[in-house]
Structure 1
Amino acid sequence: MKSIDLMYQTMLAELGQRSLDAAWTADFPPEGRFTPANVKGRKYWYFDIPDGHGGTTRRYVGPADDPAIAQRVADHKRDKDDIRARRRMVNSLTREGGMIAPDAMSGDIVEALATAGLFRLRGVLIGTVAFQCYSGLLGVRLPMAAILTGDADIAQDYAISREVEDSLPPIVDLLQGVDPSFRPVPHRSGAAASSAFQNADGYRVEFLTSNRGSDDDIDQPAKMPALGGASADPLRFLDFLIREPVRTMLLHRSGVPVVVPDPSRYAIHKLIVASRRHTDGQGPAKREKDVRQAALLFEALQQTRRTSDLAFAYNEAWERGPAWREGIRAGAGMMSPEDIGWFSAALVEGAKRNREEIELPFGD
């Protein structure tokens, strides 16, 4: 597995900081422009925003002789220039640096949700779109075959959704702003609430949350007050995945700041999920991708000397009980001998660094 040049890893860190610094553009987004207008002999500033139908929506800003308004106008030009610079950085990171850009649909969806406040409300991007971010986060080149996707998965802890006392705008409106063909998918339980949305091309956006009770609740959607009218499907083992997530960048357009699972937790979780895939339909293909992604991360964590984190995550999962150990063993048993070697070596090395005992899922 090839490492990404330190220059590009440094560039990614700078891109992340500059993107966070530009968060104020929610009021005056970069696609709009300030426009002066004379009203009864006095000059005012307005802000024109494309309405998506070939026209514009005009927003009043204030009098042109207001120093604060003048500063906003100057800052907007500066931020537009910065956006162009950030786009050049994203292009450099993906075309020259070996990092991964998402497909256009995934990128547009995540960007729309991020701009609306998803990650401010402590949502976590999971699944393959999150996996695409690990190339830059870990500083390694990941093969494209392991990152192709036709969906986006979003998770939020149930308690957080109820406690933040804030919400995204209506999810269906956000998604239809990306593609008007997005529609709610009827829930398999027959409940009125939807936890998934799909467009005419079959691209699916799904919301998940941690399971709060027995497996009897798994088939019932959970009401999520912070998700703009969307519900979420409870999922076993999800609380482990989204605990202590990390911030990074999705390399789309000028860069989208996102929150993703810790890569060590993602890898362990993928083994467990693989062991529980159905053997019909798309189950086998998804299981193969789960195992492949986990194996690539084990190799990357070993190569980048992050085995201590992996050993901590593994031991936490292992100690959660028989169902967890069974899932890890079954998932590990699906890996190739070479991948098992990476996993074993990483766990042993991490345990030594942590000065703790570790029980390997496939023996010594």
Structure 2
Amino acid sequence: MLDAAFSSEFNVNGRFITAEVRRRRYWYFDLPDGEGSKKRTYVGPVDDPEITKRVENFKDLKADIRERRKLVSTLVREAYLPRPEGKTGDIVQALAAAGFFRLRGVLVGTVAYQCYPAVLGVRLPSASMVTGDADFAQFHSISVAVGDQMPPVLETLRTVDPTFREIPHQADSRFTTQFSTRSGYKVEFLTPNTGSDNYGGRPTPMPALGGASAQPLRFLDYLTYQPIRAVLLHGAEVPVNIPSPERYAIHKLIIASRRRTDNDGTAKSRKDRAQAATIMEVMIEQRQSEDLADGFMEACDRGTAWQEAIRKSMSQIDDNIREKIQSALASGIRKLERNPAEYGLV
């Protein structure tokens, strides 16, 4: 714990140096300030074995970060795995450092989709990865139970872009679930709505989220249940929590059918279906049909509204791809000792 605190206190862009004062040597930390000069911080005496040990460990950490940066660059350059747009990566990294993922938060939406190529070991279409926002989710019960909280979210976001501002919630201006920059980039916090639809339009206070509230959404409990660990290929890589790929794909089918039919909603529906179909095809090719079938059955078992939403989106996927997916789902269901006919499959 002391080593972790020591490492987090000193930026890896700086370096430790020694200086002699009154015939005794001391450790100092120099950090460039971006304006051609540097800030010097006192650390402690060189002859203190605990301090010197942590300085040496920090050097190892710094070397490791350099290696991880090289690895990320190699994966992006030679394996053609996606790197998020710079601001997006910086935002996810800032929230990760602030403790969001440690507090069991989950990265969702298209930024999460950008992590699946590394998870699945394949390239995915770049057209489905374009986004101008970032979405983060946490269960309200977890936010209450963890007994810990992030530093103020607005301050954290402003370390990335000082123009970030709170957007008061339309239903209750005392609460904020969205933050936006002057250029229009948005960060939103979400939470599952597992109660009445009456709560869908009201912001939910989230004790762990550093002053942010969250927008309750239907179906989000399915998406964020049992997330997996992954990395976002940004900087020296950012450890994140994301939905399992089968839940991400099935959830995209559900919400695609529920988008509004205006121009923007129609485009988002197409993007949702494209992401869902791509992930399902990859899972089928990698012989993960049982995992996909398990996620499919769980969603269908939640009721007719879920079944109809999935059916509607599946009907709008290219015929050949849809037949491939349905055949694999039926096979996976049989392997799980269930009857595909119960789920509209033969």
TM-score by length of 1: 0.89
User: CA–CA distance in 2 between the matches of 1:360 and 1:334?
Assistant: 21
Residues 97-176 of structure 1 aligned to structure 2 (within 5 Å): 97-176=79-158
Q: Does 1:352 align with 2:334?
A: yes
User: CA–CA distance in 1 between the matches of 2:299 and 2:216?
Assistant: 19
Do the aligned residues in 2 keep the contact of 1:301 with 1:346 (CA within 8 Å)? no
Match of 1:319 among 275, 289, 301: 301
The aligned residue for residue 337 of structure 1 is 319
Quote the offset at 1:75 in angstroms.
1.9
Could you say if the C-alpha distance between residues 318 and 206 of structure 1 is closer, same or farther in structure 2, counting changes exceeding 3 Å? same
The answer for unaligned runs of 5 or more in structure 1 is 1-20
Residues 221-260 of structure 1 aligned to structure 2 (within 5 Å): 221-260=203-242
Do the aligned residues in 2 keep the contact of 1:329 with 1:361 (CA within 8 Å)? no
Do the aligned residues in 1 keep the contact of 2:297 with 2:343 (CA within 8 Å)? no
Quote the offset at 1:63 in angstroms.
1.3
Match of 2:57 among 66, 71, 75: 75
The answer for unaligned runs of 5 or more in structure 2 is none
Identical-pair percentage:
50
The aligned residue for residue 7 of structure 1 is none
Q: Does 1:201 align with 2:189?
A: no
Q: Which whole-Å deviations, capped at 9, do the CAs of 1:91-133 have from their partners, x for residues lacking one?
A: 1111111311111111111011111111100000000010011
Could you say if the C-alpha distance between residues 353 and 57 of structure 1 is closer, same or farther in structure 2, counting changes exceeding 3 Å? farther
Quote the offset at 1:343 in angstroms.
1.7
Match of 1:183 among 165, 173, 187: 165
TM-score by length of 2: 0.94
The aligned residue for residue 45 of structure 2 is 63
Letter of the 1:28 counterpart: F
Query: Secondary structure in 2 aligned to 1:196?
Result: strand
Query: Secondary structure in 1 aligned to 2:251?
Result: helix
Do the aligned residues in 2 keep the contact of 1:224 with 1:232 (CA within 8 Å)? yes
Q: Which whole-Å deviations, capped at 9, do the CAs of 1:69-110 have from their partners, x for residues lacking one?
A: 112222222222221111111111111113111111111110
User: CA–CA distance in 1 between the matches of 2:273 and 2:286?
Assistant: 20
User: CA–CA distance in 2 between the matches of 1:53 and 1:116?
Assistant: 26
Could you say if the C-alpha distance between residues 47 and 212 of structure 1 is closer, same or farther in structure 2, counting changes exceeding 3 Å? farther
Quote the offset at 1:59 in angstroms.
4.2
Quote the offset at 1:191 in angstroms.
2.6
What is the aligned length? 344
The aligned residue for residue 195 of structure 2 is 213
Letter of the 2:213 counterpart: S
Quote the offset at 1:287 in angstroms.
0.7
Query: Secondary structure in 2 aligned to 1:26?
Result: helix
Q: Does 1:47 align with 2:9?
A: no
The aligned residue for residue 11 of structure 2 is 29
> C-alpha root-mean-square deviation of aligned residues, in Å?
2.0
Could you say if the C-alpha distance between residues 310 and 286 of structure 1 is closer, same or farther in structure 2, counting changes exceeding 3 Å? same
Quote the offset at 1:67 in angstroms.
1.4
User: CA–CA distance in 2 between the matches of 1:142 and 1:233?
Assistant: 29
Do the aligned residues in 2 keep the contact of 1:43 with 1:64 (CA within 8 Å)? yes
Letter of the 2:62 counterpart: K
Letter of the 1:210 counterpart: P
Q: Does 1:294 align with 2:276?
A: yes
